Amino acid sequence: MHKFVVSIFGADRPGILAAVAKAVSQKGCNIENVSQTLLQDVFGGLLVISAPDGAKPQDLEDALRADCAELNLFLHVAAPVSHETDAPKEKTSPYIVTAMGPDRQGIVADVSACLAAHGVNITNMQAIFKGGKKPLDNLMIFEVDVPVATQMETLRRGLQEVSTKLHLEINLQHRKIFEAVSSIDN
């Protein structure tokens, strides 16, 4: 058995995951992980599947295209790419970066560039821009891993500079705080 990654994009409608999952199953593959999301009306999904020995990504992709033809999807099947090294994984702490303020060109680029410059890895990100003044309507949330070696003052200063430049309110807060105050479990 070996693993493939299936990428799916398309206009959202009922039955996308059902059709893809059925086709995958018929090819003798097993779905290990799925992540799907809806962005406005666009469906996006990633599947990690285990395929029988001898299976080729291109064959599976062709089969999926045939079975899902009427859904008009972008489909791609590939072997997973990873940066496997012998070096131990760097220790990190989970933080959440939020940026609130009016939408303008380049804000995602500038905030993420600042994070990258400090070695911070974005593990999840959402951006909502609906206009108006409500904070929930103009919000970017970056869930990030900050290397323990990163100087927090330097990172905060870097984000502060971006904040001033783009007229955004940017906050960096440890994930534990959000969990402690938002969850009944303790």
- Contact flags string 134-163 toward another protein, x per CB under 8 A: -xx--x-x----------xx--x-------
Q: Is 111 exposed, middle or buried (0-12, 13-18, 19+ CB in 10 A)?
A: buried
Residue 179 in contact with another protein, rule: CB under 8 A: yes
Residue 98 in contact with another protein, rule: CB under 8 A: yes
Report the nearest approach of another protein to the CB of residue 111 (Å).
15
Closer CB to another protein, 65 or 175, in the complex? 175
Residue 96 in contact with another protein, rule: CB under 8 A: yes
Report the nearest approach of another protein to the CB of residue 101 (Å).
13
Per-state percent for the chain, helix, strand, coil, to nearest 5: 35, 35, 30
The neighbour count for residue 81, using CB atoms within 10 Å, is 7
Q: Which residues on adjacent β-strands are paired with residue 142?
A: 97, 125
Whether the CB-CB separation of 27 and 60 falls below 8 Å is answered with yes
User: CB-based contacts of 180: which residues, under 8 Å, 6+ apart?
Assistant: 186
Report the nearest approach of another protein to the CB of residue 163 (Å).
12
Residue 38 in contact with another protein, rule: CB under 8 A: no
Binding site for another protein (CB under 8 A): 93, 96, 98, 100, 126, 128, 135-136, 139, 141, 152-153, 156, 171-182, 186
